[in-house]
Amino acid sequence: MADLKRNSGSIYYEVKGSGPPLVILRGLGRSIRHWLGYDDELSKYFRVVTIDNRGIGKSTQPHSPTDTIYDLAQDVHDIIEEIGETSAHIMGVSLGGMIALAMGIKFPETCKSITVVNTSIAGLRTLRMTIPGIKVVLGGLTIRKDTLHDNLANLLVGSDFSAEQKKSFAQKLITIDEEGTGANTTPLCQLIAAARFTAKKDLASMQVPTLVVYGGADYFVSNNNSKKIFALLPNAEELEIPGAGHELFVDKGKEFLKPLQDWVRRNN
């Protein structure tokens, strides 16, 4: 547990396990706690670095409306240096995937490899969030939190999750939310940063080995986004996890672990 100092606060991060360094980055409004133990599973095989992005969780550096995805990538780069690594494997889910791609564009020498999961970028003429996803996000402004998390649970996991498993997942989200996940304005600021992340031309010349992963049952972000990102990258591989949802580490974490291990080993 440590803090990276910034001008107006700090970025909280944790390091656990041993092996090849692997930085894992969460999505919109998500803190380290939202890994729900998957970081502990990964730490059996990697030196895992988890980060609370600006304005999230235990990070005290606010996320301002002018902060960009590249600013978040700068935080990741500086944390890698602070823990004594010259480079690391970067894996990001959704918004975290955008940060991972920004790392590959701005700091390619710091990236051994990149893995992006169910992510998107602006400028690809693809609906970045599904219609049900948009409705749930907008509905979160007006409906009860328990209803919001029930709706999210239905969208964020795949087709193989039972109603009971979804209910348990929703309760975990409620518990984390009740304990506080950061400033109320942070998700909006993150959405603004994501909307401004137009990296189409930069990705076409990015040489960092990149694994583009998507869940076959992602009801939150269209798979077309991942397919278009894959088509842009000159040094990439594509992987679909059948039946997996947006938060595929929740419902298909075991199925994802072996391909991730193989990818890191080949690019270490």
For residue 6, pLDDT over 80 is answered with: yes
Residue 248, classed as helix, strand or coil, is: helix
Per-domain boundaries in the chain: 2-128+183-267
Tell me the one-letter amino acid at 113.
S
For residue 227, pLDDT over 70 is answered with: yes
For the beta sheet containing 236-241, the strands, ordered from the edge strand earlier in sequence to the opposite edge, are: 2-6, 9-16, 47-51, 21-25, 88-93, 111-117, 210-215, 236-241
Give the pLDDT band (50/70/90) at residue 147.
Answer: confident
Q: What pLDDT score was predicted for residue 179?
A: 79
> Average of pLDDT values for 70-94?
98
Question: Which residues are CB-contacts of 6 (< 8 A; sequence separation ≥ 6)?
Answer: 54, 61, 75
User: pLDDT tens digit string along 177-215?
Assistant: 887 777 688 989 999 999 999 999 999 999 999 999 999
User: pLDDT tens digit string along 92-118?
Assistant: 999 999 999 999 999 999 999 999 999
Give 153-222 as a 3 state SS string: HHHHCCCCCCHHHHHHHHHHHHHHHHCCCECCCHHHHHHHHHHCCCCHHHHHCCCCCEEEEEECCCCCCC
- Which tokens belong to 176? 């984390």
Q: What pLDDT score was predicted for residue 33?
A: 96
- Which tokens belong to 24? 């894992």
- Among 32-46, 121-135, 155-169, the range of highest mean pLDDT: 32-46
The stretches of 26-162 forming alpha helices (DSSP H) are: 38-42, 69-82, 95-106, 131-139, 145-156
Of 80, 83, 59, which is closest to residue 8 (Cα–Cα)? 59
Instruction: Pick the more confident residue, 104 or 153.
Output: 104
Could you tell me the CATH superfamily of domain 2-128+183-267? Alpha/Beta hydrolase fold, catalytic domain (3.40.50.1820)
For residue 258, pLDDT over 80 is answered with: yes
% of residues, the chain, pLDDT over 70:
97
Q: What pLDDT score was predicted for residue 143?
A: 59
Rg (CA), the chain: 17
- Which tokens belong to 239? 């992987």
- Per mean pLDDT, which range of 65-69, 104-108, 155-159 is the poorest? 155-159
Q: What pLDDT score was predicted for residue 149?
A: 81
- Which tokens belong to 251? 């419902």
Q: What pLDDT score was predicted for residue 25?
A: 98
